[in-house]
Amino acid sequence: MASPWSGSILGLFEKALPAHAERLRALAARARSTGDEELVHDLRVALRRTEALARLFRGLPGKGDGEAPRAAARALRRRLSLLRSEEVGRALLASRAGTADSRLIAVVFPGELPAVRVEPGDVEAVERALARWRRRLAAAQDGAFAPRAAADTALLRRTRRRLARLVRNLSGFLPPDRETMHAARIAAKRARYALEVLAPLDPRFRPILRLLRSFQDAAGDAHDLVELAARVAFVTGADTGADLSSGPLARDLEADATRALQAARAEGTALARPVERLRKSLGSPETR
């Protein structure tokens, strides 16, 4: 980015905080009304966006600010990720098992999914942490003598450094192979959500965002199939006390996982050069 970002980054942050909080309030309301099939997915996305906001703007207006919503969002997202992985795995297995023994899903995924997927109070706790952060920011930046111009300049420099660090980390994993695919997927998520926050300041982020989303989707599909193939292969080789006849399914899943990894690697290869160009344009992330 040879030219500076346009607009106030402090103003962007001030608008983003209430927007994120409102999104979480809406999700909490959905959870109170017994939820829906997409609630866990939508909430995980909202939590990742909250983490991205905190990762970029932590320490504003003072030391430690932003850490509470970041920690609350991360803890809830990690709990939901385990649930989402099992939901996706069960659905994939049900769609592919075909004539396999009806006991297979119960053996691969023992137990039942919880009746209540999301506790509204957990979502509201993240929203309250965001609200406290917003109040602290307003107290520091409002008023006739608030140093907005200086704060905006300092925040711009710091945010660029943090974005540069995220992009440099992703660049190191591209193009990914089977061993680095998971790490590349996580790095791509972090870069994507950070760039989405900052995209209003620079429209040149939009093309790379499209590439990041394509890679993330392909890598996510591969991840789901690799995990499921490993689970079914384990059951096939384990002494379960039942003849599940899952050997052919395990081999088919492994083949599908291999093809999905190849597709994700192709998306990662297409992403590598644009990410490297962005890394160079952002410069070196010398400090926090």
> Which DSSP string corresponds to 174-206?
-S--TTTHHHHHHHHHHHHHHHHHHGGG-TTHH
Written as six digits, the tokens of 217 are: 């989707």
- The pLDDT tens digits of the residues spanning 216-259 come to 999 999 999 999 999 888 877 655 444 455 567 788 889 999 99
Contact 207, 61 (CB under 8 A): no
Give the ranges where 97-204 is alpha helix by DSSP (H): 104-108, 120-141, 148-171, 181-198
Supply the pLDDT for residue 261: 97
The number of CA neighbours under 13 Å toward the Cβ of 113 is 17
3-class secondary structure, 88: helix
Q: Is the pLDDT of residue 75 over 80?
A: yes
- Where is mean pLDDT largest: 88-92, 141-145, 148-152, 284-288? 88-92
Q: What pLDDT, on a 0 to 100 scale, did the predictor assign at position 242? A: 45
Percentage of the residues of the chain whose pLDDT score is greater than 90: 62
| Per-residue model confidence (pLDDT) at position 170 | 98
- Which pLDDT belongs to residue 90? 87
Identify which of 4-13, 29-38, 213-222 has the greatest average pLDDT. 213-222
Domains (range + CATH), the chain: 9-282 (1.40.20.10)
286 band by pLDDT with thresholds 50, 70 and 90: low
Q: Would you state the pLDDT for residue 68?
A: 96
- Please give the mean pLDDT across all residues of the chain: 87
Contact 230, 251 (CB under 8 A): no
pLDDT for 33: 87
pLDDT in tens, 9-30: 999 999 999 999 999 999 999 9
**Choice among 40-49, 106-115, 171-180 with the minimum mean pLDDT:** 106-115
Q: Structure pTM?
A: 0.88
Q: Which of the two residues, 107 and 246, has the higher pLDDT score?
A: 107
What is the reported pLDDT for 28? Answer: 95
